[in-house]
Amino acid sequence: MPSETTRPLAETRTITVKGQRLRVAIRNGDGTRTPLLLMNGIGVNLEVLQPFVDALDPAIEVIRFDVPGTGGSPAPRIPYSFSMHAWLLTQMLDQSGYQQVDVLGISWGGALAQQFAFQYPRRCRRLILVSTGTGALMVPGRPSALAKLATPRRYHDPAYMERIAGEIYGGKMRTRPELAHEFAQTAHLGSVLGYFYQMLGGVGWTSIPWLRKLQQPTLILHGNDDPLVPLVNAKIMHRLIPHSELYIFHDGHLGLATSARELAQIVDQFLTAPVSS
């Protein structure tokens, strides 16, 4: 992990793509690696992934963005489907000069990452899916945890977020209250409308019919204590995606932040490994 003095800094900018403003943060690399595009969970601003970005090899250029309606990106006029979100991202990449990227998606962003890889296979070199599933056709999480996810209250009320973090996110959030406090202070909702638009965009979506068609080398990362997306979903995706590998870590839904160093090493090994013939 790079030290505080050598850690690359990200430049944050606002890009207007087909009338939609997107807040984008780009951490420059050394030009030798394929850029890594990160896709975040529902209602979550790009800063939440900072621990993971800091733990990555500084040679990797990292692109983050606030989904429309989240963080610094205003809500769209109408709800975007996953296919529309994927199209918007290709336009953002074109405007920013990126031809091909590696893609990592977590939770809701993992569904978007699957859609992007399927819809634009030449733009996605390798795919990383974290704490995610196959959409409408998946094994659901615990009802009590999903019920709390149905509204964005946790983003408006940091004290409430700290109280429920262990129940809905599992893993280290259950036993380390300082992690829940840090997450509550970092996560900021863009708008309530944007949150519900993200939820609407995923209604009825599933990747089950076409997961077998994905040709990218794929790494699936999943915690063994995830109340929102049970581990069995990762095992299902591993069976369906042809060139995939599964890594199970001892943490919860937000392991990408709370186990950042461990998972950054696994991701880096995957991104630099030779492709099996």
Residues designated catalytic = 107
- Give Cα 155 to chain centroid, integer Å: 17
> How far from chain centre, in Å, is Cα 175?
24
Q: CB of 20 within 8 A of CB of 68?
A: yes
> How big is the CA angle at 182 (ends 178 and 248), to the nearest 5 degrees?
80
Query: How far, in Å, CA of 52 to CA of 46, rounded?
Result: 11
**Pairing relation of β-strands 62-65 and 20-27?**
antiparallel
DSSP-assigned beta bridge partners for residue 248: 222
On the 0-12 / 13-18 / 19+ scale of CB atoms within 10 A, 6 is exposed
